[in-house]
Amino acid sequence: MRDYIIMTDSCCDLTAELAAELELDVLPLSLSLAGRTYWNYLDGQDIPFQEFYARIRAGETATTAAVGVGTFEDRMRSHLSQGRDIVCIAFSSALSTTYQSACIAAQTMAEEFPEGRVYVVDSKCASLGQGLLVYLCVQRKRAGATAEELAAYARETLGHVCHWFTVNDLNHLHRGGRLSAAAALFGTMLSIKPVLHVDDAGRLIPMSKARGRKASLLALVDHMAQTAVDPASQTVFISHGDCLEDARFVADSVRERLGVQDIRINYVGPVIGNHSGPGTVALFFLGKER
């Protein structure tokens, strides 16, 4: 069996420490803020997460960019030339062209390395939903799955990775083209907090409204209670837009209500955070369906 590497991009929002432990190759997306381009590294080395959110709160606006074809080609070539195949699990194609870039690069690699294999999977996930899918794939790889088997497992599993989140201000998602104006209006009324999810196609969809912040956070846990499969045995991920205490509140609620032991919390990185905004809290777990 040929050796292989699991490749992903920085919209997985895993901690740098966990990504290293999982032996991932993570390619960064980028953002431009005040005329300067920053790489969205998992460790925040180019722009610390707290600094990014402080600048967004102060009214600065950023634009974001996908991983380019050439970046994928360079990184894929380095692995294939050493005899390693690749399973690349990319940020949702409904939210970024990163997946398309990986597919184009993989076609070029098939011509350069006919003996090698590159499997590109559209995760249809975002933030730590993508991170959770990658995490589960690493466990399957360590259990002995081949690259082809792992790509099949990823495609089978991604439809069960549930994403429930709430934001303070839907206008961030609207400005970034991630939500329609009509959907953005959904959450602008006083003290009404939207609850959204990522659907089967990897799109952001408003689902309900909660009155006040605490109610919106508890609504995330309600959705998990309704759809999670054997929650007590799961590893659950929570990401946040520079609001750690709110993320911890959700974690405590998940532990108390559903008996979950293993909960990992991390920032929503700046590329996704530019669209979701400060105050985002997102809960990710495996469910019967999204």
Of 126, 158, 190, the residue at which a domain comes to its end is 158
First to last CA, the chain: 34
**Which domain covers residue 81, as residue numbers?**
4-158
Of 94, 124, 158, the residue at which a domain comes to its end is 158
What is the C-alpha to C-alpha distance for residues 115 and 81, in angstroms, rounded to an integer?
10
pLDDT at res. 174: 63
The answer to whether 179 and 170 are in contact (CB under 8 A) is yes
pLDDT at res. 183: 62
**24 and 120 assigned to the same domain:** yes
Of 110, 142, 158, the residue at which a domain comes to its end is 158
pLDDT at res. 1: 78
**168 and 196 assigned to the same domain:** yes
Chunked into runs of 10 residues, the chain (290 residues) has average pLDDT values of 95 98 98 97 98 95 96 98 98 97 98 98 98 98 98 98 90 65 58 88 90 95 97 98 98 98 98 93 97
pLDDT at res. 192: 75
pLDDT at res. 262: 98
- Burial level of 81, CB count in 10 A (0-12/13-18/19+)? exposed
Cα dihedral across residues 196, 201, 202, 203: positive or negative: negative
**23 and 138 assigned to the same domain:** yes
**147 and 276 assigned to the same domain:** no
Tokens of 159: 């439809």
**111 and 184 assigned to the same domain:** no
Q: CB-based contacts of 69: which residues, under 8 Å, 6+ apart?
A: 101, 104, 105, 108
pLDDT at res. 178: 60
What is the C-alpha to C-alpha distance for residues 214 and 216, in angstroms, rounded to an integer?
5
The pTM is what?
Answer: 0.95
Q: CB-based contacts of 20: which residues, under 8 Å, 6+ apart?
A: none
